[in-house]
Amino acid sequence: MADTIPLAEARSLIARAKAGDHGALEQVYRAYEGAVYTLARRLSKTPEDAEDALQETFLEVCRSLSAWRGEGSLWGWIRSIAASKALMRYRREKVRATDLLDDDVAERRGEDVPLRMDLEAALQRLPERSRSVVWLHDVEGMTHEEIAELMGMTTSFSKSQLARAHQKLRAWLGEEGAVS
């Protein structure tokens, strides 16, 4: 998404927030709560996890105001915190192993699903890690290097996850292409 607060205004808001102005912090929260929650929903398993990530993200923003130096986009900074909080469970629960299982389950479940799904349902059906990669890359515009760092994987693995996700989406959406 585009930054909803112009850079000059963002600098002023953060300066006021650093001085203890909670009204300024609330303005930042109101501007980005929807974007952070949407990102967290796409990266989390449950809406409850996404709500927790939303709360943790803005608490971290309150704690780390000095970390944003006013040089880059405020949304870019908040987004990286949000993605990190939403993906925290990967690192905590070591989902790597279970994600492989998720892949298998998703493949098997494929036998029972309707021939065509809508994009929303197909996206939800992707294994958590593939869904995160496709969302962070294709929607949020993050590079494979940034995603690899966030998720603790290599860039080549991020690229292969993206390709697999697109192949699955195409199959589930009933859009078999001419290229194998």
Q: Which is nearer to another protein, 10 or 25 (CB)?
A: 25
78/84 Cα distance (integer angstroms): 10
Residue 154 interacting with another protein (CB under 8 A): no
Pick one of 6, 47, 110, 152: the residue that binds another protein (CB under 8 A).
Answer: 47
The DSSP result for 66-113, as a single string, is GG--SSS-HHHHHHHHHHHHHTHHHHHHTHHHHHHHHHHHHHHHTTTS
CB of residue 14 to another protein, shortest distance in Å: 14
Locate tokens 């515009």: which residue?
141
- In which element (H, E) is residue 39 found? helix 22-43
CB of residue 1 to another protein, shortest distance in Å: 8
3/90 Cα distance (integer angstroms): 27
Applying CB under 8 A, what is the total number of residues that bind another protein?
43
Half-sphere exposure (CA, 13 Å, Cβ side) for 41?
Answer: 10
Residue 103 interacting with another protein (CB under 8 A): no
CB of residue 81 to another protein, shortest distance in Å: 13
147/61 Cα distance (integer angstroms): 20
Radius of gyration of the chain from its Cα atoms, rounded to whole angstroms: 18
Residue 150 interacting with another protein (CB under 8 A): no
Residue 53 interacting with another protein (CB under 8 A): no
Residue 177 interacting with another protein (CB under 8 A): yes
Residue 29 interacting with another protein (CB under 8 A): yes
Residue 170 interacting with another protein (CB under 8 A): yes
Q: Which residues bind another protein (CB under 8 A)?
A: 20, 22, 25-26, 29-30, 33-35, 37-38, 41, 47, 50-52, 54-56, 58-59, 62-63, 119-120, 123, 134-135, 138-139, 159-160, 162-163, 166-167, 169-170, 175, 177-180
